[in-house]
Amino acid sequence: MTFPYWPSLLGGMLIGLSAAMLLLLNGRIAGVSGIAGRLVQGAQLSANAAFVIGLVMGPPIYLVLFGHWPAVTITASMPTIVIAGLLVGFGTRMGSGCTSGHGVLGLAGFSRRSMAAVAAFMLAGILTVTSMRMAGL
């Protein structure tokens, strides 16, 4: 019997491992929004660029290892995706971080601020999905 969640489990383990390595080896939190923001600002260019390039190289590495691109299905329209992306960007600035920083390392460090942020992320996600399903979207 196959376990259908292997890719998600492996991906989560790799995210945790990479966040732990960045913290242990560089003393930095793996908050993707902060890293991307610093890259755009030109701060710590080599370290931030290496992290972002590593993120972008994930699918090509998957292709080499497994012989096909990872399966991704996006059913939302392009305007919905753009609006969602802008809202996420606004939310990460308003919440002083993103799900990777707060959810992976903040919770592991028992940060109260991260606990509140993750609770807000989850609640907002649940309310959004519920309201969109009720509206038939």
63-78 pLDDT, tens digit per residue, is 999 899 888 888 889 9
In contact, 114 and 99? CB cutoff 8 Å: no
| Residue the block writes with tokens 């998600």 | 8
Question: C-alpha angle 74/70/47, rounded to 5°?
Answer: 100
Query: Would you give the DSSP letter of residue 71?
Result: P
60 has pLDDT over 90:
yes
Instruction: Find the mean pLDDT for residues 93-118.
Output: 85
